[in-house]
Amino acid sequence: MHPMLNIAIRAARKAGDHVIKSLEKPQAIEVANKGTDVVTNVDHEAEAIIIDTILKSYPEHCIIAAESGTKENRDKECQWIIDPVDGTKNFVRGYPHFAISIALRMRGRTEVAVVYDPARNELFTATRGSGAQLNSQRIRVSQPRNLTGTTLATSLPFAAKQHAESYMKIQSALFVECEDMRQSGCAALDLCYLAAGRVDGVFKLGLKPWEVAAGELIAREAGAICTDFTGNTNHLTTGNIVAGNARVVKPMLAKIRENGSEALTK
**Per-residue confidence (pLDDT) for residue 162, from 0 to 100:** 85
Q: Quick check: 146 and 251 in contact, CB under 8 A?
A: yes
Give yes or no: residues 131 and 212 share one domain.
Answer: no
What does 170-182 look like in DSSP terms, one character per residue? Answer: HHHHHHHHSSEEE
Confirm whether 63 is domain-assigned: yes
| Low-confidence stretches of the chain (pLDDT beneath 70) | 1, 266
pTM of the prediction? Answer: 0.96
Does 83 belong to an annotated binding site?
Answer: yes
Give yes or no: residues 7 and 135 share one domain.
Answer: yes
Give yes or no: residues 189 and 253 share one domain.
Answer: yes
**Per-residue confidence (pLDDT) for residue 1, from 0 to 100:** 64
Give yes or no: residues 135 and 217 share one domain.
Answer: no
Provide the residue range defining the domain that includes 192: 151-259
**Per-residue confidence (pLDDT) for residue 124, from 0 to 100:** 98
Give yes or no: residues 119 and 184 share one domain.
Answer: no
Q: pLDDT (tens digit, 9 = 90+) per residue, 174-188?
A: 999 999 999 999 999
Phi, psi of 149 (to 5 degrees): 80, 5
Does 86 belong to an annotated binding site?
Answer: yes
Give yes or no: residues 247 and 194 share one domain.
Answer: yes
Q: pLDDT (tens digit, 9 = 90+) per residue, 15-49?
A: 999 999 999 999 999 999 988 789 999 999 999 99
Confirm whether 177 is domain-assigned: yes
Give yes or no: residues 114 and 237 share one domain.
Answer: no
**Per-residue confidence (pLDDT) for residue 37, from 0 to 100:** 86
Residues in Cβ contact with 219 at an 8 Å cutoff, skipping those fewer than 6 apart: 132, 141, 191, 192, 194, 195, 202, 226, 243
Taking the alpha carbons at both ends of the chain, their separation in whole angstroms is 41
Confirm whether 77 is domain-assigned: yes
